[in-house]
Structure 1
Amino acid sequence: MTLSSPDFSDGERMPDWVGYANDNDNPELEISGVPDEAESLVLVVDDPDAQPVAGHTWDHWYAWDIDPDIGTIPRNWDGGSATEGHNDFIEYGYGGPSPPEGSHGYRFKLVAIDAELGVPAETRKTRVGSAIAMNAEVLASTQIVGDYHAEQGTTF
């Protein structure tokens, strides 16, 4: 399974408009090679470089029960029939990069599983992970990393 974006290459700088203080639009994501046995996809976008400031890896977006035949998650996706959870901005859906200083690497992680989770949007990321561990088998996973610099947007 592969994940890519026409908006940035793995390990490269993302466009300004993905930032929380800018347009706050998710980049387009292209998905291929999903196993035939997959019943759903889980997407997590996080910032491990936030740990020194936030005290934990900052969650920017996570969604589950994504149709495995989706192929493309478009820019500024509304979630469709998938479930989007709370990010660490305490908002549902995508919350773009907003590093306080310097550059941070934002991981876009995608997992194919053999079941739908059916858990509500209020479910936190760790509970989604527990639901996967208890109710599904991970069939494949992949990730790409996009870089975003504090100078690309207004910082908080």
Structure 2
Amino acid sequence: MVLKISSPVFSDGEPIPPKYTCEGSNISPPLDWDTSKLSISDNGSIALICDDPDAPGGTWIHWVIFNLPPEISSLPEMVMPREELENGALQGSNSWGNIGYSGPCPPSGTHRYYFKVYALDVKLNLSSGVTKEEVLRAMEGHILDEGQLMGTYTRR
């Protein structure tokens, strides 16, 4: 089974609204996922990574968030760029070197943005500010299920 992730503001394979990009408010879009069919213990967690594989210099990281409580099945619009959220989740560094979400901002052409959600059997023993690579390494052997939502964006 593949974990389903969706957004009420764009469908898989469709354009991300400008509001969620560098040309708009540059805030994170609302996201929903369904873990009800998974057996995630209280020691488990959810992680989310958003990246752009079409960036000229290699994959560009837009968002790293992890240790979301397993009962969480959505993120609201405009998750604040804080190291730790009220629910205990931590945010890592994006490719700009900032904590939290930074939206699509392709230099040219249409780019693809993958929002990947992971259901884990553990909470990750990491600090806020870590990189995507550090989160992926820590998740090895602990992924119960995963899913992705892909949006596109072309700069105006």
* TM-score, normalising length: structure 2: 0.88
Given the alignment, which residue of 41, 50, 62 partners 1:60? Answer: 62
The residue number in structure 2 matching 1:28 is 30
Partner of 2:150: 145
Question: 1:125 & 1:63 partners in 2: Cα distance?
Answer: 9
- After superposing on structure 2, the runs of 4+ consecutive aligned residues of structure 1 that deviate more than 6 Å are none
In the aligned structure 2, how far is the partner of 1:120 from the partner of 1:21?
Answer: 31
Q: Which residue of 2 aligns with 1:90?
A: 97
Q: CA deviation at 1:68?
A: 1.7
Q: Describe the superposition over 1:44-76 as per-residue Cα deviations: whole angstroms up to 9, x where unpaired.
A: 0000010xx2x2100000111011211220000
Partners of 2:63 and 2:115 in 1: how far apart? 9
* Cα separation, 2, equivalents of 1:56 and 1:101: 14
Contact 1:40 1:114 in 2 (8 A): yes
Q: How many residue pairs get matched?
A: 146
Look up the SS of the partner of 1:130 in the other structure.
Answer: helix
* Equivalent runs, 1:4-153 vs 2, <5 Å: 4-34=6-36, 35-38=38-41, 39-50=44-55, 53=56, 55-78=57-80, 79-80=85-86, 81-133=88-140, 136-151=141-156
- Structure 2: give runs of 5+ residues left out of the alignment: none
Aligned residues with identical type, % of pairs = 35
* Per-residue deviation, residues 2-24 of structure 1 (Å, max 9, x unmatched): 10000000000111100024201
Aligned partner of residue 25 in structure 1, secondary structure: coil
Kept in 2, the 8 Å contact 1:65–1:118? The answer is no
Q: Check whether the contact 1:3–1:142 (CA below 8 A) recurs between aligned residues.
A: yes
- SS in structure 2 of the partner of residue 49 of structure 1: coil
Counterpart of 2:133, as a letter, is T
The structure with the greater share of residues assigned to helix is 1
